[in-house]
Amino acid sequence: MTIAQFQKNILDWYRNPPAGGAMRSRMPWRRTRDPYKILVSEVMLQQTQIARVLPKYKEFLGAFPDLASLAAATDKRLLKVWAGLGYWRRAKYLKKTAQLITNNYNGKFPKDPKILETFPGIGPYTARALACFAFGSREAFLDTNIRRVYLHFFFPRRKNVSDKEILRVAQRAIDTLPKNVSSREWHYALFDYGATVLKDKQINRRSRHYHKQSKFEGSFRSFRTAVVQYLLSQPQNRTPQKKVRHVLEELLKKEKTPYSAQEILDSLLKDRLIKKSRTHYYL
C-alpha cells in the first residue's frame, strides 16, 4: 500500500460521521486548543481508559481550571481530586510541571516538544501529542492505537518491529498530508481507527516495545493506593505512623502477599507521595 492510499483510507473513514463522529463528540479535550487542558487529558489518559478519564477530567478542571491554580494546590487537595485514576505520581508530576511553567516560562507553554519533554512525567509521546494538538506540530508520535494502525498496514507479516521503523513511515505520512489536513486531525483519525476498527490487540504483540499491563488487584501498586486513600480519608491532616502501619499490615495479611509494609511505605516516601514527621504520616 502506498502512503497516499493509506492516507485516503484513514481520512475517508474518519470524515464519515457514523464512523468518526461518535468518538470526537464525547472527548471534550478534542474541542480545545488550550495546552493546559490538553496536557491534563494526555496525562490522565496514560494507561487509563477513556471512560474513567471523562468524569475526572471535568472534575479536575473544575478544581484546577488553570496552571496557576494547579501550581498552588495542596498535595492533599490534589490527590483527593485525582483519586480513582491511579498512578498517583502523575498528579504530582502535573503539579510540578504547572509550577515550572508558571515560574520559569511566565505561565506560557513552550511549543518545542524537546523542551516539553524535560518536564516531569512528560515523555516523548506526551510531549509530541501536546505540541500537535495545542500548537499544530507536525512531528510523528505513537501510542498503542496509532502503533497498531501502522503495524497493520505497513508491517503485516513482521515481528519485533521497532518504533524507529514505524516512526519513519509515520513521519512520511505527515510530511505528505494533503494541504487541507492538519496534523491534529490526522492523529485523531489514526487514534480512532486503531481503537475502533483494529480491535485485535494481538497486532501490538508484533512491536518490539510491547508489554502487557500488569494486573492491579493484589499488586504492589494496589497497596500503595490503599495507603494514599487511607490518608485521604482521615479527618486530620496527619495520621500516627503506628496506625497507618497497622492498617497496612492487616491488609497485607488478609491478601497474603509477599510485600512488607515497610517497603510499600518506603516507596511512597521515595516518590514523595506521602511524607512523614517523627511520629506521623501525611500527604
Residues 9 and 143 in one domain: yes
Task: Quickly list DSSP for 177-228.
Answer: --TT--HHHHHHHHHHHHHHT---GGGGGGBTT--PPPP-TTSHHHHHHHHH
Residues 114 and 137 in one domain: yes
| pLDDT confidence band for 20 (50 / 70 / 90) | low
| pLDDT confidence band for 256 (50 / 70 / 90) | confident
* Alpha-carbon gap, residue 84 to 98, rounded angstroms: 21
Least reliable range by pLDDT among 203-212, 218-227, 232-241:
203-212
Question: Is residue 184 pLDDT above 90, yes or no?
Answer: yes
Domain with 108 in it: 3-206
Query: Residue 215: inside a domain, yes or no?
Result: no
Residues 194 and 83 in one domain: yes
* Alpha-carbon gap, residue 220 to 267, rounded angstroms: 10
Give the residue from 143, 177, 206 where a domain finishes.
Answer: 206
Residues 147 and 274 in one domain: no
Question: What's the pLDDT at 23?
Answer: 60
Please classify residue 87 by burial: count the beta carbons closer than 10 Å to its beta carbon, then call 0-12 exposed, 13-18 middle and 19+ buried: middle
| pLDDT confidence band for 200 (50 / 70 / 90) | confident
Query: Residue 246: inside a domain, yes or no?
Result: yes
Residues 242 and 130 in one domain: no
Query: Residue 169: inside a domain, yes or no?
Result: yes
Residues 54 and 183 in one domain: yes
More confident residue, 189 or 26: 189
* Alpha-carbon gap, residue 211 to 157, rounded angstroms: 19
Give the residue from 206, 230, 260 where a domain finishes.
Answer: 206
Query: Residue 213: inside a domain, yes or no?
Result: no
CA-nearest of 214, 195, 218 to 19 is 195
Classify residue 2 by its DSSP letter.
-
Residues 248 and 141 in one domain: no
Structural domains counted in the chain: 2
Query: Residue 212: inside a domain, yes or no?
Result: no
CA-nearest of 205, 227, 220 to 273 is 227
What's the CATH number where 179 sits?
1.10.340.30
Query: Residue 214: inside a domain, yes or no?
Result: no
Active site residues: 42
Query: Residue 211: inside a domain, yes or no?
Result: no
Residues 198 and 224 in one domain: no
| pLDDT confidence band for 172 (50 / 70 / 90) | very high
* Alpha-carbon gap, residue 277 to 187, rounded angstroms: 47
* Alpha-carbon gap, residue 261 to 200, rounded angstroms: 40
Residues 17 and 121 in one domain: yes
Query: Residue 159: inside a domain, yes or no?
Result: yes
CA-nearest of 282, 10, 8, 283 to 149 is 10
* Alpha-carbon gap, residue 221 to 86, rounded angstroms: 8
**Which three-class secondary structure state does DSSP give residue 246?**
helix
Residue 282 near residue 274 (C-beta atoms within 8 A): yes
Among residues of the chain, what percentage have pLDDT more than 70? Answer: 96
Question: What's the pLDDT at 174?
Answer: 98
Structure confidence by residue, pLDDT tens digits, 99-134: 999 999 999 999 999 999 999 999 999 999 999 999
Residues 182 and 254 in one domain: no
Residues 152 and 240 in one domain: no
Residues 56 and 193 in one domain: yes
Least reliable range by pLDDT among 5-9, 24-28, 59-63, 84-88:
24-28
**Which three-class secondary structure state does DSSP give residue 142?**
coil
Give the residue from 182, 206, 230 where a domain finishes.
Answer: 206
* Alpha-carbon gap, residue 21 to 16, rounded angstroms: 7
Q: Per-residue pLDDT averaged across 145-159, rounded?
A: 93
Please classify residue 158 by burial: count the beta carbons closer than 10 Å to its beta carbon, then call 0-12 exposed, 13-18 middle and 19+ buried: exposed
Q: Per-residue pLDDT averaged across 241-253, rounded?
A: 94
